[in-house]
């Protein structure tokens, strides 16, 4: 058996530093480089968190504070999530054709064949 499973990681995380299968550690192997974190901001109550960008920080507490300073200084948010970038796993861009294209001609999956009453909002 010689099956190779290739993992794809988000952003600019080198594969050997990526998490998932390795024990969790916030220490980057490069002493001068702080780990990268992804920042999600909720702009107001009731909405969901949206990816805002990324930043460097030594730990989660500092990541939240840095996110506050970098991404909410113009009143963009009411809530912040951070996650270390290495824990985000991404789909393989070379497989995009087989992953997403098959959905393109299946219009019946869209709920566009129903007449909605006018009173119904937020659909």
Partner 1 sequence: MNAHIDYIIHLADTTLILSQRNSEWCGHGPILEQDIAITNISLDLLGQSRYFYQHAATLLNTKNKSENTTEDSLAYLRGEREFKNLLITELPNGDWGQTILRQFFVSVYHSLLYQQLLKSSDTQIAAIAEKSLKEVAYHIKWSSEWVIRLGNGTEESHRRMVDAINNLWAYTGEMFVPADYEVEAAKMGIGIDSASLKEEWINKIEPVFSEATLPVPEKIFMQLGGKSGVHTEYLGYILTDLQYLQRVYPGAQW
Strand, helix or coil at 41? strand
60: contact with partner 1 by CB under 8 A: no
Residues 6+ apart with CB under 8 A from 72: 41, 80
Q: Of 2-10, 13-21, 54-62, 104-112, which part binds partner 1 (CB under 8 A)?
A: 54-62
70 versus 88: smaller Cβ distance to partner 1: 70
CA dihedral 102, 107, 110, 111 (to 10 degrees): -160
- Interface map 70-109 toward partner 1 (x if CB under 8 A): x--x------------------------------------
Strand, helix or coil at 83? strand
49: contact with partner 1 by CB under 8 A: no
61: contact with partner 1 by CB under 8 A: yes
Alpha carbon 119 to its chain's center: 35
Q: Which two tokens stand for residue 39?
A: 């920042």
For partner 1, the binding residues (CB under 8 A) are 34, 55-58, 61-62, 65-66, 68-70, 73
């Amino acid at each position: 058996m010689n099956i190779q499973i290739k993992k794809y990681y988000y952003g600019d995380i080198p594969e050997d530093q990526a998490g998932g299968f390795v024990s969790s550690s916030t220490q980057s192997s490069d002493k001068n480089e702080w780990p990268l974190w992804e920042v999600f901001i909720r702009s107001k109550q009731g909405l969901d968190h949206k990816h805002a960008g990324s930043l460097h920080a030594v730990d989660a507490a500092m990541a939240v504070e840095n996110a506050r300073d970098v991404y909410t200084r113009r009143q963009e948010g009411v809530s912040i999530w951070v996650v270390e970038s290495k824990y985000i796993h991404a789909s393989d861009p070379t497989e995009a054709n087989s992953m997403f294209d098959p959905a393109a001609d299946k219009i019946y999956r869209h709920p566009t064949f129903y007449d909605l009453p006018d009173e119904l909002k937020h659909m």
